[in-house]
Structure 1
């Protein structure tokens, strides 16, 4: 990733500014529903930012649906086929991209009906969640958060990457999860999410983010 000028900001102000930016966003393919990625390692907490932006959008009178990628993981029998700590499986095989296309992105394509499944599989109980479908009205936003999202060809209309330096990522990742670090190194090398994202947020200090807005 090349050098990017970043500006210090608070999380509260960041949520408001992102929401304001999204108000004028038009889907690139003519869809009725803008689709936004909040990408980052779990310890970067991209879901917290997605929920903050969601609340700011609702205050502004816009509907949105926050979806976590962890609700679309494959069953344990598939995720752990090569062991519970295999970084290549984590990188390539944990996320059920087919289910995301079918249940989330497909209904939001041009001509879709807007009925989105918010989650499919509970990775803790290793059972189907059986959640009801959610009807996202025309103009409503999909806010999808999770790790390693930008390496897929999902039709995001805007992408946000919450970046941690390698040292911050290692420091904030629990020792039991250090086996995932090589997957994020591979993600950085192959995808360069900081350069690929439309909005970059550096969160090495969780109290004082900076962004390229």
Structure 2
């Protein structure tokens, strides 16, 4: 019987495009080594638009508290791939463009599967223990202002500031990467 553990890796950062790009590189490298990969993005685990925007389009607290369906991510991916889990995972819950639930079947996670999950707020206290390894992208306030799309800068920068204060993700991360310039990432000593 194959006893290789299933692992759950988070790529946590404020700029969704950056976390997705890095997670894709990691997932691709693992696949090249014949490691089974479960590639997941929090962007596909959003709550419905009516919930996310209940307090307005630019409310940072809504971004932090209401945008992502972390209970579903835990249930359908992280807890499902835990040693005592069901060993299947759901790739998507909601289409972010249409704001509709998607109908996809759970996929099997053979022994040795690595779930590579990207997104924001993955070191929150209600999520972080679902990961075996957390990579936190540390982005300065100035770089964050330049790197976020204009339509989400206000709400995301406020939510990210709250996250840094309340959850201290760098303290819980296994790796902290300075990511002001994605073409020149730097591993921070820790």
Q: TM-score surpassing 0.5? A: yes
- Is the CA contact 1:72–1:99 (under 8 Å) kept in the aligned structure 2? yes
Question: Do residues 188 (structure 1) and 161 (structure 2) align?
Answer: no
Out of 140, 146, 150, which is 2:123 matched to? 150
Rounded Cα–Cα distance in structure 2 between residues aligned with 1:31 and 1:95:
30
- Is the CA contact 1:64–1:140 (under 8 Å) kept in the aligned structure 2? yes
Deviation per residue, 1:94-120 (Å, 9 max, x gap): 111221122112321223221100110
Name the counterpart of 1:22: none
Rounded Cα–Cα distance in structure 1 between residues aligned with 2:101 and 2:46:
11
Q: Runs of 4+ in structure 1 displaced over 4 angstroms?
A: none
Name the counterpart of 1:16: none
Rounded Cα–Cα distance in structure 2 between residues aligned with 1:205 and 1:50:
16
* Residue 139 (structure 1) shift: 1.2
Q: How many residues were matched structurally?
A: 184
Name the counterpart of 1:132: 105
Name the counterpart of 1:110: 83
Rounded Cα–Cα distance in structure 2 between residues aligned with 1:143 and 1:203:
18
Q: Secondary structure at the match of 1:46?
A: helix
Question: Do residues 207 (structure 1) and 183 (structure 2) align?
Answer: yes
Q: Which runs of 5+ in 1 are unaligned?
A: 1-29
* Residue 43 (structure 1) shift: 5.1
* Residue 31 (structure 1) shift: 9.2
Rounded Cα–Cα distance in structure 2 between residues aligned with 1:185 and 1:167:
12
Rounded Cα–Cα distance in structure 2 between residues aligned with 1:200 and 1:111:
29
RMSD: 1.8
- Is the CA contact 2:80–2:87 (under 8 Å) kept in the aligned structure 1? yes
Rounded Cα–Cα distance in structure 2 between residues aligned with 1:43 and 1:62:
25
